[in-house]
Amino acid sequence: MSEIVNRVAQSKLVTLDLEEYYPQGSRLQIDIKDWLFESLILKEKEFRNQIASHNWEQYKDAYVALNCSSDAIIPGWAFMLISTKLQPYVKKVVLGSLEDLETTVFQSIIENLEVSDFKDKPVIIKGCSNKPIPPNAYLWATIKLQPVAKSIMYGEACSSVPLYKRK
């Protein structure tokens, strides 16, 4: 009987697992509709009072998405004012949904990703994760790796989908 050889372990494949770059910190959403008169009208004095009395320390080391779930028309300065209160505490704040927040966080991660370790190597971008990796992160990782990698695949070593191969 011949010895079983793990060809995947012996290959020069390098795996990029975006889940390894997932930053720690809670993801929170602030919906300002409850700070509006009848959830629709921003009355500046009352709005500023709500902001002044809010406990901003609860967002320490968190990633925060700001939005308004009602059909209110919110002036841009309202979210800017909130961001001035969040800035000393949060890791990042965005205007939008929690999904928008994750996308923005990963855009920054991919932009700052050091790719020299992938130079002239076949790379697999791992597809499955237990954390909410936004779909755009996979696109950005592919674009970031393409100038340096020998080849790029998606999935797992045992069942990958080829995406790019340098000529």
Average pLDDT value over all residues in the chain = 93
Q: Is residue 79 part of a domain?
A: yes
Q: Check whether residue 80 and residue 121 sit in a common domain.
A: no
pLDDT digits (tens, 9 = 90+) for 22-55: 999 999 999 999 999 999 999 999 999 999 999 9
Give the structural domain span for 114. Answer: 7-23+104-165
Q: Check whether residue 12 and residue 55 sit in a common domain.
A: no
Q: Is residue 110 pLDDT above 60, yes or no?
A: yes
93: alpha, beta or left, given left = phi > 0 and alpha = psi -120 to 50?
A: beta
Number of domains the chain is built from: 2
Q: Is residue 117 part of a domain?
A: yes
Comparing CA positions, the residue from 101, 167, 140 lying closest to residue 16 is 140
Looking at 54-123, list the stretches that DSSP marks H as alpha helix, in order from N- to C-terminal side: 76-86, 98-111
For the chain, give the percent of residues with pLDDT over 70. Answer: 93
Q: Is residue 8 pLDDT above 50, yes or no?
A: no
Statement: the pTM of the whole predicted model exceeds 0.85: no
